[in-house]
Amino acid sequence: MHKLLRTVLPLLAACASLACGPALAGAGGTTRIGDVALGVIDLTPDDGVNAGYTIDSFESRLMVYTDTRNTGGGFDPTTVSPLPYTAGNARLAHNTATAVATTSGAVGDVDARVTTGTALGRDNVVSADSQQRLWLTLSPHTLLTVSGNVFTHATRSLGAGEGYGVFGWASVDIGDSDEQTTSYLSRESALIWGENTSAAGNSEFFTLAFANPGEAAMAVSLNFMAYSDITVEAAVVPEPASWGMLLAGLVLMGSAARRASQRAR
């Protein structure tokens, strides 16, 4: 019996380390905005006053975090604030999870990416958030145009015992000085727990417009955001077939050990 235990216990330990199931799977999310161009249209081309705008202030904020408080960990954020028009990168790794938020420094260029495997833990979150905000002054009789590309993509595996909620969100908005949004774009890709879908995505060209029809200059804000997160809804657990194979192997090993013991007598 002791010989059997010496043989079986290492196998059980190895099985536990491998989760007694399929290989570690995972999920990923990518959201980005790029190729942004600002333009103007003169609403009164015959008045002799040129349409236009000036950028008065520019800031970027990149934030990534993992939240593992549901399994005894903590909230672990990293925030980076690049100088105006400069590149920046915020990155965080936790076990099999990674979160990356970047910007090249170009206007509207924001990118947020997350990936994780089952080691993140049930009900825990990995997230990336990349934002830019600009404050502009529009000349009188000016129509501001904002165009670019937006991309959101979410993927996950769907093996037995696995569960991942993946969410990607891209938004662009233009607001007046009272921060009342008047031109807005929002796109998202979501994979919801319980649905039998492994991928969702969106890719398109966009154009927004904001008008200053008055006789005085107007202050406006222009905001870009790329956000991605993953929530682990369930960890990989042994499949019934895996448990059955393990138990069958233990029974065979026990029978062999008993026969060997009887012959020795």
Give the pLDDT confidence score for residue 239 in this predicted structure. 41
Q: State the DSSP code for 23.
A: P
> Reduced to 3 states, what is the DSSP secondary structure of residue 190?
strand
> Reduced to 3 states, what is the DSSP secondary structure of residue 83?
coil
Q: How far apart are CA 138 and CA 153, in angstroms?
A: 34
pLDDT tens, the chain, 265 aa long: 545 445 444 444 444 433 343 344 799 999 999 999 999 999 999 888 899 999 999 999 999 999 999 888 899 899 999 999 999 999 999 888 999 999 999 999 999 999 998 888 888 999 999 999 999 999 999 999 999 999 999 999 998 878 999 999 999 999 998 877 789 999 999 999 888 999 999 999 999 999 999 999 999 999 999 999 999 987 644 444 443 444 455 445 555 555 555 555 5
Alpha carbon of 160 to those of 21, 145, 230: distances in Å?
A: 9, 48, 18
> Reduced to 3 states, what is the DSSP secondary structure of residue 36?
strand
CB 114 within 8 A of CB 230: yes
Give the pLDDT confidence score for residue 188 in this predicted structure. 95
Other CB atoms within 10 Å distance of the CB of residue 154: 28
Give the pLDDT confidence score for residue 256 in this predicted structure. 52
> Reduced to 3 states, what is the DSSP secondary structure of residue 263?
helix
User: Structure tokens of 217?
Assistant: 């200059």
Closest CA to 25 of 237, 175, 183: 237
The gap between the terminal CA atoms of the chain, to the nearest Å, is 14
Q: How far apart are CA 187 and CA 202, in angstroms?
A: 8
Sketch the domain layout of the chain as residue ranges: 1-21+239-265, 25-237
Per-residue burial over 118-141, b if 16 or more Cβ lie within 10 Å, else e, is bbbbebbbbbbbbbbebebebbbb
- DSSP per residue over 206-239, as a string? EEEEEEE-SSS-EEEEEEEEEEEEEEEEE-----
Q: How far apart are CA 25 and CA 42, in angstroms?
A: 54
What's the pTM value of the predicted model, to 2 decimals? Answer: 0.80
Give the pLDDT confidence score for residue 121 in this predicted structure. 86
> Reduced to 3 states, what is the DSSP secondary structure of residue 78?
strand
User: Structure tokens of 233?
Assistant: 């809804």
